[in-house]
């Protein structure tokens, strides 16, 4: 796969450089370096997920995923699964309208809009109105960043593949909508590539050494849907599913 | 005091198993028993076309004449608008037969499966979905 992509990338580079030279004259070719001449693909537009809301979207949504947790987190996850089987969701802060955090967000409950601008790829998730800014201008991560829900993302184009590295991710997040815990020292890497004009793939790898014995990896698929629009989503508008004192997701019933 | 029977419990089996989780949006749907469907017949008191979830507040009269208000949670306007729903799709005063996955707790609430109007129109929760098994035909 990567060999194929790098070949395509190289071909595009050559075509791009030749086109650039024809359009702008040889002067600009001399002035620019060969790497910069390869224009990245244009993924600006609206995309919807394929598959379930699990970390691995090929696993049906009603199935609990297996993760290589250490003993401490396995015990916690087992409790979460046992409670869920009894109808009690106990590790789901999104019920209180908290942002889902980068890992769960990338399941993409509702569509996302990708905007490519010079030096930046922006992902706008309709669900919870979350925004990721992936800086592709060559800047490094900040030293010791303050943790945030979606972390600090930097990316670089390798041919037609976008490689993204994200650090500074807030702890106590979850991996999927079953409340699988994410751990406290999370590092996320992503490889994005297109297959044809209307399919986008994201191979996402999550390292979380205080919770997971080894990294976990999944490939997410998105389909282009430029026939739809991103809608507003404000979770606090009428949230009747707050968690109770025990942290269990509930439902506010109205009585006559 | 408790209503004797507001609907017909129906075994739904495979279809619900395959699709469960698709409707989950901002929270886990574990509180609802998606292995059960019941049909509530009543009058809409209010339709909340809001995020993160829509709600149908349905007043259901039991055999003894007691009226109970049910809170029926649906997908968000974002999900429903894309399959053709509008904020006016359900209105206060509408007579509806609503199929739900009930709360496991037995309280008067559930997850919306579909609604049928007296003229036969049916609103479903997913595009192209066949009417629920056990729904009044």
A→B contacts (Cβ < 8 Å), by residue, are: 52-53, 60-62, 83-89, 92, 94-95, 97, 109-110, 126-128, 177-179, 228, 231-235, 237-241, 249-256
Inter-chain touch B69–A241, beta carbons under 8 Å: no
| Residue B137 domain-assigned (yes or no) | no
When CB atoms are compared, the residue of B52, B71, B82 closest to A239 is B52
Measured CA to CA, the distance from residue B2 to residue B4 in angstroms comes to 6
| Residue B79 domain-assigned (yes or no) | yes
| Residue B29 domain-assigned (yes or no) | yes
| Residue B132 domain-assigned (yes or no) | no
User: Can you give the pLDDT at residue A6?
Assistant: 41
When CB atoms are compared, the residue of A177, A238, A252 closest to B24 is A177
User: What is the DSSP secondary-structure string of chain B?
Assistant: ---S-SS--EE-THHHHHHTTSS--SS--TTB-TTEEEEEEEEEEEEE--SS--EEEEEEE-TTS-EEEEEEE---HHHHHTTT--TTSS-TT-EEEEEEEEBTT-SSEEEEEEEE-TTS-EEESSTTPPPPTT---
User: Can you give the pLDDT at residue B127?
Assistant: 75
User: Can you give the pLDDT at residue B135?
Assistant: 54
Task: Kindly tell me if the per-residue pLDDT of B118 is higher than 80.
Answer: yes
Burial class (CB in 10 A: 0-12, 13-18, 19+), B116: buried
For residues A252 and B108, the answer to whether their CB atoms sit within 8 Å is no
Query: How many other CB atoms sit within 10 Å of the CB of residue A2?
Result: 12
Structure tokens at A176: 């999927």
A217 Cα distance to chain centroid: 12
For residues A154 and A139, the answer to whether their CB atoms sit within 8 Å is yes
* Strand A161-167, strand A187-194: pairing: antiparallel
| Residue B56 domain-assigned (yes or no) | yes
CA-CA-CA-CA torsion for A190, A49, B90, B137, nearest 10 degrees? -140
User: Can you give the pLDDT at residue B134?
Assistant: 55
Measured CA to CA, the distance from residue B93 to residue A46 in angstroms comes to 38
Sorting pLDDT into bands at 50, 70 and 90, what band is B132?
Answer: low
B54 φ, ψ (degrees, to nearest 5): -85, 155
Interface of B with A in 113-132 (CB under 8 A): none
Inter-chain touch B26–A109, beta carbons under 8 Å: yes
CATH number at residue B66: 2.40.50.140
User: Can you give the pLDDT at residue B25?
Assistant: 62
Domain that includes residue B68, residue range: 10-123
* Strand A199-207, strand B122-124: pairing: unpaired
SS3 assignment, position A237:
helix
Inter-chain touch A238–B33, beta carbons under 8 Å: no
For residues A108 and A220, the answer to whether their CB atoms sit within 8 Å is yes
User: Can you give the pLDDT at residue A163?
Assistant: 98
Identify the CA nearest to B41 among candidates B64, B16, B70, B12: B70
E strand or H helix that includes residue A34: helix A34-37
Inter-chain touch B26–A234, beta carbons under 8 Å: no
pLDDT above 70: percentage of residues in chain A: 86
| Residue B1 domain-assigned (yes or no) | no
pLDDT in tens, B5-29: 344 433 333 333 333 333 446 788 8
When CB atoms are compared, the residue of B31, B78, B79 closest to A87 is B31
SS3 assignment, position A130:
strand
CA contacts within 13 A on the Cβ side of A153: 24
| Residue B119 domain-assigned (yes or no) | yes
Inter-chain touch A256–B69, beta carbons under 8 Å: yes
The pTM (predicted TM-score) of the whole model is 0.82
Interface of B with A in 30-59 (CB under 8 A): 30-34, 48, 50-53, 55, 57, 59
* Strand A152-158, strand A130-135: pairing: parallel
| Residue B21 domain-assigned (yes or no) | yes
User: From the DSSP assignment, how many helices (H) and strands (E) are in chain A?
Assistant: 5, 9
What's the structural domain count of chain B?
A: 1
B115 φ, ψ (degrees, to nearest 5): -130, 140
A242 Cα distance to chain centroid: 25
B-chain residue closest to A178, CA distance: B28
User: Can you give the pLDDT at residue A256?
Assistant: 73
When CB atoms are compared, the residue of B26, B50, B107 closest to A253 is B107
Spans in chain A with pLDDT lower than 70: 1-37
């Amino acid at each position: 796969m990567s060999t194929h992509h790098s070949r395509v990338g190289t071909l595009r580079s050559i075509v791009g450089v030749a086109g650039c030279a024809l359009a702008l004259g040889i002067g600009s070719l001399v002035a620019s370096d060969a790497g910069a001449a390869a224009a990245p693909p244009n993924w600006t537009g609206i995309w919807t997920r394929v598959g379930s809301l699990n970390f691995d979207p090929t696993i049906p949504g009603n199935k609990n995923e297996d993760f290589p947790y250490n003993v401490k987190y396995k015990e916690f996850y087992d409790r979460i699964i046992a409670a869920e089987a009894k109808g009690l969701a106990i590790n789901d802060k999104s019920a209180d309208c908290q942002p889902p955090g980068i890992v769960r967000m990338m399941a993409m409950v509702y569509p996302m809009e990708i905007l490519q601008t010079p030096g930046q790829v922006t992902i706008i998730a309709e669900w919870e109105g979350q925004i990721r800014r992936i800086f592709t201008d060559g800047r490094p991560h900040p030293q010791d960043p303050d943790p945030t829900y979606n972390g600090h993302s930097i990316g670089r184009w390798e041919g037609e593949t976008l490689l993204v590295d994200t650090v500074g991710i807030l702890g106590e997040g979850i991996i999927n909508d079953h409340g699988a815990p994410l751990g406290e020292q999370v590092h996320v890497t992503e490889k994005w590539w297109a297959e044809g004009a209307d399919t986008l793939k994201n191979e996402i790898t999550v390292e979380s050494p205080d919770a997971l014995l080894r990294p976990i990896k999944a490939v997410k698929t998105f389909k282009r849907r430029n026939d739809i629009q991103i809608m507003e989503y404000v979770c606090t508008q009428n949230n009747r599913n707050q968690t109770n004192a025990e942290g269990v997701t509930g439902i506010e019933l109205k009585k006559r | 005091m408790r209503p004797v029977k507001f609907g017909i419990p129906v075994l739904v089996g495979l279809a619900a198993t395959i699709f469960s989780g698709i409707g989950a949006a901002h929270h886990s749907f574990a509180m609802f028993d998606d292995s059960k469907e019941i049909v509530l017949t009543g009058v809409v008191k209010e339709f909340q076309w809001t995020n993160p979830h829509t709600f149908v507040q349905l007043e259901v009269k039991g055999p003894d004449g007691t009226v109970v208000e049910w809170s029926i949670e649906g997908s968000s306007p974002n999900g429903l608008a894309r399959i053709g729903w509008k904020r006016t799709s359900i209105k206060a005063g509408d007579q509806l037969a609503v199929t739900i996955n009930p709360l496991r707790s037995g309280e008067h609430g559930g997850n919306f499966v579909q609604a049928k109007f007296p003229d036969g129109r049916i609103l479903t929760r997913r595009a192209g979905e066949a009417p629920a098994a056990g729904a009044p035909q």
